[in-house]
Amino acid sequence: MRHSSETFHTLLLLVLLFSGCDLGEPLDSEAPSGSLVNDKSIFLKPNGSFVLELDVNADAGYSWYHKISDPAVFQLDSTSYRPKSGNWNLDGGMTVETFYFRASNPGQCEVELVERQGWLPDDPPRNAVWFSVHVTR
């Protein structure tokens, strides 16, 4: 699995929609953009939400697939897409997939997102992002 800044090309942006979200430890501003939430803990209150944006090479058939270890604690509400360039008419450009997550009940779970071509499920993913979520009252 390759995680260099050249191949990762993942832009992670956490946007707080409600109060109560904390990454648990300071983020290193020198860290590659793809590692912004990798192996971090996120702390939320019930109904706390955040948005995560990831680059995806959709023109080459890649998609992000997610696994949440306990959907009763934390879930993906929806996703949306936009061209990274701002123009859908350009061929070969990166797409940004936006994930809208929400905390439901107190507890802890793990989240994993992998970028892969769906017709090659046994191939290693192109990129991966994983983090822990802790929901507390």
Tens-digit pLDDT profile for residues 96-126: 998 999 999 999 999 999 999 999 989 999 9
In a domain, 28, yes or no: yes
Which tens digit of pLDDT belongs to each residue from 8-43? 333 333 333 333 444 444 333 322 234 578 889 999
Whole-angstrom CA distances from 16 to 12, 62, 88, 96, 108 are 13, 27, 27, 18, 19
- pTM given for the model: 0.74
Asked whether the predicted pLDDT for residue 5 surpasses 90, the reply is: no
CA dihedral 28→49→10→42, nearest 10 degrees, is 40
* CATH at residue 12: 2.60.40.2020
Does any domain span residue 136?
A: no
In which domain, by residue range, is 92 found?
Answer: 5-129
For residue 35, what pLDDT is reported? 52
Q: How many domains does the chain have?
A: 1
Is residue 137 included in any domain, yes or no? Answer: no
Structural domain includes residue 115? yes
